[in-house]
Amino acid sequence: MSGPLTRRRTAELPEHPDFLWRKPQLKKSYDVIIIGAGGHGLATAYYLAKNFGITNVAVLEKGWLAGGNMARNTTIIRSNYLWDESAGIYEHSLKLWENLEEEVGYEMFFSQRGVMTLAHSVGDVRGKQRNFYANKVNSIDTEWLTPEEAKKVAPILNISDTIRYPIMGATYQARGGIAKHDWVAWGYAKAADDMGVDLIQGCEVTGIKVDNGKVQGVETNLGFIAANKVALAAAGHTSTLTQMAGFRVPLQSRTLQALVSELLEQVLDTVIMSGAVHVYVSQAHKGELVMGAGTDAFNSYTQRGGVHVIEHQLAAACELFPIFSRAHLLRTWGGVVDIAPDASPILGLTPVENLYINSGWGTGGFKATPGSGWVYADTIANNAPHALAKNYSLKRFTTGHLIDEHGAAGVAH
Amino acid sequence: MLSINCPWCGARDETEFHYGSQAHVAYPENPETLSDEAWAHYIFFRDNPKGWFQERWVHTAGCRRWFNVWRNTVSHQFGPSYKPFTPAPARP
Ligand SMILES: Cc1cc2nc3c(=O)[nH]c(=O)nc-3n(C[C@H](O)[C@H](O)[C@H](O)COP(=O)(O)OP(=O)(O)OC[C@H]3O[C@@H](n4cnc5c(N)ncnc54)[C@H](O)[C@@H]3O)c2cc1C
Ligand SMILES: [Zn+2]
């Protein structure tokens, strides 16, 4: 990358770079309090300041900055979802990604190396082709690849028709790719801090004060903090917070796992996903294979998943990429993901006045970080859903206007 | 992997089971008079507590029967399993 990007003190990484932002004195009240300093909370703070000049903002984080799912995801970025609503918000996000490093002034290793999604059965092919045509209609770049064409893109792919789940075709979004999740968070954090946003780590929200149907502020381990507006950005912990505010949300929290190999020579320069056999893999800049496994079947806040889920994913990976059978598994970990019944986000107003919700990104919200932050900031500033958020409101579960992205998002990223 | 106690078969590996989410969600008594909002809550809204949870599992690869169990979503510790239509034991 060229341009005026911040490459400060990179030698000190991977230390948590708290030197990038101030250690602010907590104020007694704010215009906006954002709960959760993951990618979405930080991006929201950034766009509140940048697009609306709202800087009397605190982002409260119970742990350390971006130590939740933001630190744990496999960083796949794409916008080739099925429905118009999804195309709208994910494509908006992808367009923001394409200029983000320059805009924020911080390196994020955004790499448009393409995302290939495999189909393994006749039904799977039909579903993926439906998705492919839907993307064309929405002007989202997409290609349909035969198995031979897929192998040209990724020569290590096993396209034999004698394996248990042979590759019968694939979609390919050339503009998709990956980025370095930590650096994305740090870039947004630094830029938001520069504009005056207070980033408060080690501050857990334990209560939400509501009077006459309107939010007043939050109780925390550091005391009460008043706020004109409160915005939830707590991913897997959203239900615990809405419970404090007195309403329910249709979210279930599950463990999603990922893993990495040791550093290897570069063998894969694109991203490959297979929802059918649960394989998502890319090779990071340093050389480790980064893979996503499935979600555990049951609700959990442990950030720990079952080994059999990893085993299942690795078995499929070794069949699709025989060369991987020599790789060593270095680390596995899990995050708490918030899943809605239609596998789409919930973004907008809530039954409590001046309390906003942004959740349900589940297994696939990293890619949405810029778009989600943009749309959420707009929704908070105007106290009305942004055009791209309209159909993502809580009301859709009553009207029945669901945005069913199970095929595109439920298991895949 | 969890070790789950089926009230009929005893402790078995998690992979023998399927998950059924929150227990004791009763079918609405007067469905014909239910509002859209109440339907939404019946169909889509489930509790999601951080802590003890009463949930359903089905022993798919064993006796194939449904049952309820207390489980802690923070520690994965199990409380008692109990058969359907039997009174729920107290929270552990
Ligand atoms: C293993 C794994 C792989 C994934 N892979 C991908 C992928 O390839 N592509 C993709 O697009 N997405 C992926 N995702 C999903 C993505 O990580 C999430 O959708 C996204 O990170 C959620 O938004 P966030 O970054 O704001 O969440 P988080 O980083 O989880 O931020 C929420 C924050 O809220 C804080 N918080 C919670 N409760 C409170 C409280 N009471 N008080 C104060 N703070 C609180 C938490 O500590 C946390 O830091 C993956 C997720 C996981 C777990
Ligand atoms: Zn049994």
Instruction: Return d(Cα B2, Cα B5) in angstroms, integer.
Output: 10
Q: Can you give the pLDDT at residue A108? A: 96
Q: Which chain A residues contact residue B74 at CB under 8 A? A: 301-302
- At which residue do the structure tokens 């899943």 appear? A339
The tens digit of pLDDT for each residue in A338-350 reads 999 999 999 999 9
Q: Are residues A256 and A171 in the same domain?
A: yes
In chain B, positions 58-77, which contact chain A (CB-CB < 8 Å)? 71, 73-76
Is the pLDDT confidence value at A5 over 70? no
User: For residues A20-54, b (16+ Cβ closer than 10 Å) or e, as one string?
Assistant: bbeeeeeeeebebbbbbbbbbbbbbbbbbbbeeeb
Return the CATH number at A57.
Answer: 3.50.50.60
Give the closest ligand to the alpha carbon of residue B7.
2
Give the per-residue pLDDT at A406. 83
pLDDT at A408: 53
Contacts of A401 by beta carbon, 8 Å cutoff, 6+ apart: A391
Average pLDDT over residues A175-179: 98
Which ligand minimizes its atom distance to the CA of A332? Answer: 1
What does the pLDDT look like over B53-72, one tens digit per residue?
Answer: 999 999 999 999 999 999 99
Query: Which residues in chain B are contacts of A399 at CB distance < 8 A?
Result: 36
Q: Where are the domains of chain B?
A: 3-24+35-82
Does A89 map to a domain?
Answer: no
A96-116 in b/e burial notation, b at 16+ Cβ within 10 A?
bbeebbeebebbbbbbbbbbb
Same domain, A379 and A273: no
Per-residue pLDDT tens over the stretch A66-77 = 999 999 999 999
Task: Tell whether the model's pLDDT for residue A6 goes beyond 80.
Answer: no
Q: Are A136 and A191 part of one and the same domain?
A: no
Q: Is the CB of A255 under 6 A from ligand 1?
A: no
Place B35 in a pLDDT band, splitting at 50, 70 and 90.
very high
Query: Is residue A4 over pLDDT 80?
Result: no
User: Nearest C-alpha of chain A: how many angstroms from B31?
Assistant: 15
The total of structural domains in chain A comes to: 2
Q: Name the band, by pLDDT with cuts 50, 70 and 90, for residue A14.
A: low
- Chain A 325-364, CB below 8 Å of chain B: which residues? 341
In-domain check, residue A18? no
* pLDDT of A136: 97
Identify the pLDDT of residue A205.
98
Query: pLDDT-based confidence at A121, cuts 50/70/90?
Result: very high
Q: What is the CATH number of domain B3-24+35-82?
A: 3.30.2270.10
Q: Which of residues 230-259 of A touch B (CB under 8 A)?
A: 237, 239-240, 243, 248-253
Q: Is residue A133 assigned to a domain?
A: yes
Q: Write out chain A residues lying below 8 Å of B1, CB-based.
A: 306-308
- The alpha carbon of residue B18 is apart from the nearest alpha carbon of chain A, in Å, by 7
Same domain, A260 and A324: yes
Q: Which residues contact A319 (CB under 8 A, 6 or more apart)?
A: A158, A163, A164, A165, A277
Question: What is the tens place of the pLDDT at every residue in A31-58?
Answer: 999 999 999 999 999 999 999 999 999 9
The answer, yes or no, to whether residue A2 has pLDDT greater than 90, is no
For A213-228, the pLDDT digits (tens) are: 999 999 999 999 999 9
Classify the C-alpha dihedral A187-A193-A197-A203 as positive or negative: positive
Residue A411 banded pLDDT, cuts 50, 70, 90: low
Does the residue A62 lie in any domain? yes
Domain limits at A34?
A: 25-74+182-251+341-409
Residue of chain A whose Cα is closest to the Cα of B56: A298
Residues of A in contact with B45 (CB under 8 A): 248-250, 397
- In this prediction, residue A409 carries a pLDDT of 45
- Confidence (pLDDT) at A333: 97
Q: Give me the residues near ligand 2 (ion), CB cutoff below 5 Å.
A: B 6, 8-9, 59, 62-63
Nearest Cα neighbor of A280 from A262, A297, A294, A269 is A294
> How does residue A11 score in pLDDT terms, banded at 50, 70 and 90?
very low
Answer whether residue A12 is part of any domain: no
